[in-house]
Structure 1
Amino acid sequence: MMRAVTLLRYGGPEVLQISQIPIPVPKPNEVLLKVHATALNRADLLQRRGFYPPPAGASDIIGLECAGEVAQSTRNWASGQRVMAILPGGGYAEYAAVKSDHLMPIPENLSYEEAAAIPEGWVTAYQLLFYIARGKAQEKVLVHAGASGVGTALIQLAKLKGLKVAVTCGSQEKIEFCKNLGADLAINYKTESFKQKVKEFGGADIVLDCIGANYFEDNLDAIRLDGRWVIYGTMGGHQVNQVSLRGMMGKRISLISTTLRNRSDEYKADLVGSFIDDGILDAFRNRVLKPIIYRTFPIEKIAEAHEIMEKNENSGKIVLKISN
């Protein structure tokens, strides 16, 4: 048996509880991990409320990433090897069964807690910026929620590859935080017009948008000719009214929506492979890139961790320590 976070019912953070459940049995193409740490993602809050069920066949335990050690040797992974992984579910538990080719070795200089802050946020950011938006050096990218887990990864990846970065944030503290990470322009969306600031910046070749409906018209104004606009979240609503298709056509905008969780296993394996082959793990090893951790909580404090994320208090990732 193992400890895991389960739900009393759908609802607020108070529905999260620690339960004893069976250890998962890995399938032939899976590896059993002893999980030392995981991290929170916005999708976790939606799943807790019943709005984002796991894909068919995936664990119904919340958690899209983890870091730990291989519990049982396989052909490609040795027992005790330190690894981190993207998951379709199952991260909030002492053990997780993971697709073998969704694993990555943890750079030697990173702790389990630091490693837990990487897989979902950084692989998502890499997918958004390079797989989908095809970002190139010298282009300008607008990143919404710049201080989020994905946002902090996007800032660093964009600067690593020579792009210029504008971000939106909700406080002066987060503005300074994002500038210190390398953002060329940081805009407080509560006090300034981000579309005007981005237009003064020269416009955005790429918009990476986790807000959705509330920012639709301003994004349309801020994006440049032939821009790529990727929607990967709807924190600001999902219903858009009176969209100007002519405005989009006039700028020849590519509007793309995406998720990662319900992608095929083959797509995720290819993405993880590209993430490694592109030297991203080496950049962590050399401290050129760094996972940003806001706070670390023991598994027993899971409700408090969810409350902080719901209030948008965090800059960077909230990590959950599962075991020593």
Structure 2
Amino acid sequence: MKALQGVEGQAQWLEQPAQACDAGQIRVKVAAAGLNRADLLQRAGLYPPPPGASQALGLECSGVIVEVGAGSAWQVGDRVCCLLAGGGMAEEVVLDARHALPVPEGLSLVEAAVVPEVYATALLNLFQLGALRPGEKVLLHAGASGVGSAAIQLCKAFGNPCWVSVGSPERLAYCEALGAQGGALRGEDLQALRDFGPFDVILDPVGGDYAALNLELLARDGRWINIGLMGGREARLDLAQVLGKRIQLIGSTLRNRDDQFKADLLRDLQQQVWPLFAEGRLKPQLERSFAIKDSEAAFETLAGNQVAGKLALLIEPSLL
């Protein structure tokens, strides 16, 4: 079996041993895989997978089940999309059967490949950890990213007005077309966000550079959910604001959560979010797909920070 692995800063399509499909697991022939920023970091040697996870790249994929371990209700031939700790960018992947969901109604396998990671991340952080209530206001940093695109749509669907910070007027227009109320441009004057606040929840993949701004923009009892460190790992915080506003700062990762946590999250995702795809209220924001032979070009495109939405790698076109 071949899989995409990070070797000395590059993605290489290499042979690796196939994994046994044990009780409670399924084997999926992969049609397509979504790209995420975590894959960029792992490709560069900066984000190793959790212990026991595949060394191959890929946190989400779609495909067709070709083997079912004992104790699973899935059937060979079922079309699924999968949330993974690694291994999605491969000819096949073996995973906990609870970490696969049926392809949402109306979506292609390519579209389904870019759904699990970002919608699970948005649901977890905004509505579970962030405890958003209808009508509360949200600020999404990196609003045009894959997670940002999913989060905007979920905020609109569940009645939460949201604003964004983005890198260009074009990306702001993209976010507004998805349902954002407005926003500000990175590199110009993010203080303009004060005109839209205060915010009840901030979803922040940036970290260090935005820390002081986040404290200023949060409302009393506000929740700051930090999911990344694109702006650095260190920050100076005015703890008087944390105390005075009763702010909650929550650090959140998904990849290293345990199997039961992910199974519960995906159950919630299927119940609360999957019907919205069938209703046409959610749409995967797939900007572009690349053949597996062009994986390096795909990674370089993502690294350029100009993608609005998601990119996908096509692993087995015959399934699409």
Determine if the TM-score, normalized by the shorter chain, exceeds 0.5. yes
- Structure 2 letter corresponding to 1:38: A
**Could you say which residue in structure 1 is the equivalent of 2:4?**
5
**Separation (CA, whole Å) in 1 of partners of 2:293 and 2:215:** 44
Match of 1:34 among 29, 53, 61: 29
Give TM-score, length-normalised by structure 1: 0.95
Superposed displacement of residue 142, structure 1: 0.3
Give 1:197 deviation, angstroms: 2.8
Size of the aligned set, in residue pairs, is: 315
Aligned partner of 1:178 in structure 2 is 175
Distance 1:39 1:107 in 2: 15
Q: Does 1:257 align with 2:251?
A: yes
Which residue of structure 1 lines up, in the alignment, with residue 222 of structure 2? 227
Matched, 1:303 2:300: no
Report the alpha carbon displacement of residue 275 of structure 1 after superposing the two structures with TM.
1.0
Matches within 5 A, 1:13-92: 15-74=10-69, 75-92=72-89
Corresponding residue for 2:276? Answer: 283
Q: Using the alignment, how far apart are the partners of 2:206 and 2:291 within structure 1?
A: 30
- Verify the 8 A CA contact 1:214 1:236 in the aligned structure 2: yes
CA contact 1:198–1:204 (8 Å) conserved in 2? no
TM-fit CA distance, 1:7 = 3.0
Q: Give deviations 1:29-50, integer Å, cap 9, x for gaps.
A: 2110000000111111111111
SS of the residue aligned with 1:32? strand
Offset, 1:244: 1.1
Report deviation, 1:229.
Answer: 0.5
The corresponding residue for 2:97 is 100
Partners of 2:183 and 2:193 within 8 A in 1: no
Do 1:24 and 1:95's aligned partners in 2 also have CA atoms closer than 8 Å? no
Q: Following superposition, which runs of at least 4 residues in structure 1 exceed 4 angstroms of deviation?
A: none
Deviation at 1:51, TM superposition (A): 1.4
Q: Which amino acid aligns with 1:126?
A: L
What is the CA distance between 1:6 and its match in structure 2?
2.1
Structure 2 Cα separation of the partners of residues 318 and 202 of structure 1: 32
> How far 1:261 sits from its partner (Å)?
0.4
RMSD: 1.1
Structure 1 regions of 5+ residues with no counterpart? none
Shift of 1:116: 0.5
**Partner of residue 208, structure 1:** 203
Q: Report the TM-score when normalising by structure 2.
A: 0.96
- 1:292-311 Cα deviation digits (max 9, x unpaired): 01110011111001101111
* Per-residue CA distance 1:272-317 (angstroms, 9 max, x = gap): 0111122x11111221100001110011111001101111010000
Which residue is 1:317 aligned to? 310
Give 1:113 shift: 0.6
Whether contact under 8 Å (1:64, 1:120) holds in the other structure is yes
Q: Distance in 2 between matches of 1:125 and 1:8?
A: 30
> 1:4: Cα distance to partner?
1.4
2:235 match: 240
What SS does the corresponding residue of 1:174 show, helix, strand or coil? helix
What are the Cα deviations for residues 101-150 of structure 1, in whole angstroms up to 9, with x where unaligned? 11100024111110001000111111011110011111000000000000
SS in 1 for 2:67: coil
Q: In structure 2, what is the Cα distance between the partners aligned to 1:73 and 1:231? A: 37
* Kept in 2: contact 1:38–1:65 (CA 8 A): yes
Whole-angstrom CA distance in 1 between matches of 2:131 and 2:203: 12
SS in 2 for 1:89: coil
Matches within 5 A, 1:143-154: 143-154=140-151
Which residue identity does 1:177 align to in structure 2?
A: Y
Residue number among 112, 125, 128 corresponding to 1:128 in the alignment: 125
Identity among equivalent pairs (%): 41
Residues 228-272 of structure 1 deviation map (CA, whole Å, 9 limit, x = unaligned) = 01000000000113x211111111101100100000101000110
Give the Cα separation in 2 of the matches to 1:251 and 1:7.
44
Following the alignment from structure 1 to structure 2, what is the Cα–Cα distance between the partners of residues 24 and 172?
46
1:45-77 Cα offsets, whole Å, 9 max, x none, are 111111111111110101000100111145310
